[in-house]
Amino acid sequence: MRTIEAPRITETIARLCMEANYNLGADMLAAFERASRTERSPAGRDVLALLKENAHLARTQRVPYCQDTGFVICFADIGQDVHIVGGDFETAINEGVRRGYIEGYLRASIVGDPFQRKNTGDNTPAVIHTRIVPGDRLTLMVMAKGGGCENRSKYKMCTPAEGIAGVKQFIIECIRTAGPDACPPLIAGVGVGGTFEKAALLSKRSLFRGIGDPNPDPALQALEQELLEAANALGIGPQGYGGDTTALAIHINTYPCHIASLPVAVTIECHAHRHQEAVL
C-alpha cells in the first residue's frame, strides 16, 4: 500500500489548473500548424495565425489563453493500492481548484446554485469523475471546459435500427448546428453505447486523447477520419469565417449497450482545448 498526502493532491491540482489555462498542449499547437498548411481560406489562415500568436502570448506572459477559464473537469484514476491520507480526496481537489484560480488570477465562472446564480467566487466546485484502476499511482487529468462550447454539446438515444448511419448523421448535425458559437476549429468527443450517463462520460474522457493520436481500434480510427472530413466539408471554418478547418479532430469511445439502446453523446470542445495531467 502506497500513501499519498492530500495536500500534495491540492498542490498538483492548483498547478494543473494554472498550466491548463496558460499553456495549450503540444498536440493543439501541432494541430494548428497542420491546419495552417491545408487551410485554403485567407480568413481562415488569418484566424489560425492569430490563435497561434494568442497561444504564444498566453504561455510567455502567463495570462489565460481565453477569458472563459472554464469549469474544471477532473478525471482521477486511483490505483487500488493507493491510500490517501491527511484529508478528504474531493476536498483536496476543490481546494486545489480554489488556489489555482485565485493565485493564477483566473476568472471565477461557477455559480453555486443553478437558479439563484450567485458566483462561488473561486471557480469551485469541480466536476470530479473517479475510477479505481490497478497499481499504486494516482493519475489526475484536468480540463478547463469553456461554457460556450459545452452549451453546444448534445445527446441522443438513437434506436438500434438507426445504426451507424444514424450515429454519423447525428454527430455531423451537432457540429453543423454548433457553428461559430462553439469557437471553431473544434474537437468533438463522442461516446457511443453504455447507458445515458455512460455515453456522456465516454465522450468527455475521449477529449484527453492527444489530438492527432490514432484511435487504437482501426475501425473507429477510420470512422473518426470519415467524420472529420465530413465536418470540415461543412465550410464553417475557423471562428465561423468559412474555410476547410471546422474541426481539428473527432474522438470516439464506445462501450457495450443494451439490445434496445444506442446512446450517443457528443461533447463539443473549442479551440481553447485546455487540458493537463499528472501522475502521483
CB 84: neighbour CB atoms within 10 A? Answer: 17
Arithmetic mean of pLDDT, 241-265: 97
Identify the pLDDT of residue 175: 97
How does the average pLDDT of the chain come out, rounded?
Answer: 97
Arithmetic mean of pLDDT, 20-47: 95
Identify the pLDDT of residue 37: 95
Arithmetic mean of pLDDT, 257-275: 97
Alpha-carbon dihedral of residues 124, 125, 126, 131, nearest 10 degrees?
150
Give the C-alpha separation, 106 to 164, whole Å: 41
Asked if 171 contacts 254 with a C-beta cutoff of 8 angstroms, the reply is no
List pLDDT tens digits, range 39-67.
999 999 999 999 999 999 999 999 999 99
With residue 78 as reference, give the H or E element that holds it.
strand 71-79
pTM of the model: 0.94
Query: Which band of pLDDT confidence, cut at 50, 70 and 90, is reported for residue 245?
Result: very high
Percent of the chain with pLDDT over 90: 99
Query: Which band of pLDDT confidence, cut at 50, 70 and 90, is reported for residue 158?
Result: very high
Give the C-alpha separation, 96 to 66, whole Å: 20
List pLDDT tens digits, range 172-215.
999 999 999 999 999 999 999 999 999 999 999 999 999 989 99
1, pLDDT greater than 90? no
Asked if 234 contacts 176 with a C-beta cutoff of 8 angstroms, the reply is yes
Cell of 4: 499519498
Query: What residues have CB less than 8 Å from 252, skipping those under 6 apart?
Result: 190, 191, 192, 206, 215, 220, 223, 224, 227
Q: Give me the half-sphere count of Cα atoms (radius 13 Å) on the Cβ side of residue 11.
A: 7
Alpha-carbon dihedral of residues 92, 95, 96, 99, nearest 10 degrees?
-160
> 3-state class of 208 per DSSP?
coil
Identify the pLDDT of residue 229: 97
Alpha helices (runs of H) in 62-195, residue ranges in sequence order: 89-103, 147-150, 163-178
Give whole-number Cα distances, 155 to 62, 170, 279, in Å.
Answer: 36, 9, 32
Identify the pLDDT of residue 98: 98
